[in-house]
């Protein structure tokens, strides 16, 4: 059996992410130039859940989308 590590984001975190990316799209250089861009998801387990920080590869955008529903 393969060993896997799985991180889950709650619906609320995804909502927060969607709101952030919409705002960020307006200022993101990579998006404006239609260049490939990547979103990094940083999951930090804290024992009772995970805090989640998302970062755009343009280097100018990041957001904390932690929801206590992940805890």
Residues that bind Zn ion (CB under 5 A): 28, 56, 58, 61
Nearest distance in Å: CB 55, Zn ion: 9
Nearest distance in Å: CB 5, Zn ion: 26
**Cα–Cα distance measured from residue 30 to residue 43, given in angstroms and rounded to the nearest whole number:** 24
Q: Is-contact 69 12, C-beta < 8 A?
A: yes
- Closer residue to Zn ion, CB minimum distance, 9 or 28: 28
Nearest distance in Å: CB 14, Zn ion: 18
The radius of gyration of the chain's CA atoms, rounded to the nearest angstrom, is 14
């Amino acid at each position: 059996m393969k060993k896997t590590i799985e991180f889950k984001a709650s619906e609320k975190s995804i909502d927060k992410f969607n709101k952030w990316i919409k705002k960020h799209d307006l200022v993101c250089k990579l998006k404006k130039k239609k260049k490939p861009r990547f979103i990094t998801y940083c999951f930090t387990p804290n024992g009772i859940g995970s805090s989640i920080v998302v970062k755009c590869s343009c280097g100018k955008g990041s957001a904390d989308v932690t929801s206590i529903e992940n805890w």
